[in-house]
Every structure is written in structure tokens, then in C-alpha cells.
């Protein structure tokens, strides 16, 4: 392994600023999700379904595995629990025989919309910090 030049104090400072901003965003996201009765994973699941590649408001289980970086059994369990709470529904995918498509219910849409709207200021703050760190 090649020996690299040690980071400068400025590089350490940028790394610390990034970590602080990410942590602040995550904490705010966690708190707002909890206020809506959602876990962080459930909020992220709803967000990925809303922005699904198959079309707005739907995603395949495979897509959810990829986008959330979770295993098949974890996604399956998360979807089943979320469906049990009335926030999503599973349907047979019309375009792929045997495949399942997951869609938001009106209740899931409402909860997702409230958390996402309330995260707006924190999201803009994070984007601003990220743009300055380039």
C-alpha cells in the first residue's frame, strides 16, 4: 500500500463539518419521523416508493433492496410491517409476471409528505454545506 500524504487541518475541518451536517440532518429526520410514528427505515422506505423508478408512488421489491441497501428478507419484513400499518400495499406487477410492486396508500402519502415538508430547511442547509465542501 502506498503511503499517502497526511490530511491537512483544513481537510480535517471539512471532514468534521460534513460529519456534523450529516449527523444533524439524520437526527432531525429521525425526530420528525418519530413524531409521525415512523421509524427511520419506514420513512426511507416510503420515500423510495414515492420516487420509484417504475413510476411515481411505486417500486419493486428488488428496487427497494438496491436503493435502501438492505437484504431481501429485511425488505420483505419491512414492507410487510408497513403494509400492516396501512401505509403501503403490495400488488402483482402488471409488467413482470410473479413480481411484486409496492405502492403508497393515502395514509402513507400523508405521513411521508408531512415529514418531507418539515425536513425542507434542514435538507437545504445540508445541500448548502455540501456545495461549499467541493
Phi, psi of 81 (to 5 degrees): -65, -40
pTM of the model: 0.86
Structure confidence by residue, pLDDT tens digits, 94-132: 777 778 899 999 999 999 999 999 999 999 999 998 888
Q: Considering the domain boundaries, does residue 3 fall inside one?
A: no
Provide the number of structural domains found in the chain: 1
Helices 72-84 and 40-50 pack at an angle, to 10 degrees, of: 90
CA 28 to chain centre: 13
CATH code of the domain covering residue 105 = 1.10.10.10
Residue 5 DSSP class = P
Structure confidence by residue, pLDDT tens digits, 11-41: 899 899 999 999 999 999 999 999 999 999 9
Strand order in the sheet with 58-60: 58-60, 100-104, 88-92
Q: Considering the domain boundaries, does residue 30 fall inside one?
A: yes
Q: Considering the domain boundaries, does residue 5 fall inside one?
A: no
Q: Considering the domain boundaries, does residue 2 fall inside one?
A: no
Q: Considering the domain boundaries, does residue 4 fall inside one?
A: no
Phi, psi of 103 (to 5 degrees): -130, 155
Can you tell me whether residue 87 is helix, strand or coil?
A: coil
Can you tell me whether residue 62 is helix, strand or coil?
A: helix
- State how far the Cα of 64 lies from the Cα of 47, in Å rounded to an integer: 10
Structure confidence by residue, pLDDT tens digits, 61-98: 999 999 999 999 999 999 999 999 999 999 987 777 77
The boundaries of the domain holding residue 100 are: 10-132
Amino acid at each position: 500500500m502506498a503511503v499517502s500524504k497526511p490530511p491537512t487541518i483544513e481537510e480535517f475541518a471539512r471532514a468534521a463539518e460534513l460529519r456534523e451536517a450529516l449527523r444533524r440532518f439524520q437526527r432531525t429526520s429521525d425526530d420528525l419521523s418519530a413524531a409521525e410514528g415512523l421509524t427511520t427505515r419506514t420513512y426511507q422506505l416510503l420515500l423510495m416508493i414515492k420516487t420509484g423508478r417504475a413510476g411515481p408512488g411505486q417500486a419493486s421489491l428488488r428496487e427497494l433492496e438496491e436503493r435502501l441497501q438492505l437484504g431481501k428478507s429485511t425488505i420483505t419484513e419491512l414492507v410487510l410491517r408497513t403494509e400492516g400499518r396501512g401505509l403501503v400495499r403490495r400488488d402483482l406487477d402488471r409488467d413482470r409476471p410473479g413480481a411484486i410492486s409496492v405502492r403508497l396508500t393515502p395514509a402513507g402519502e400523508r405521513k411521508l409528505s408531512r415529514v418531507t415538508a418539515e425536513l425542507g430547511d434542514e435538507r437545504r442547509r445540508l445541500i448548502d454545506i455540501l456545495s461549499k465542501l467541493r
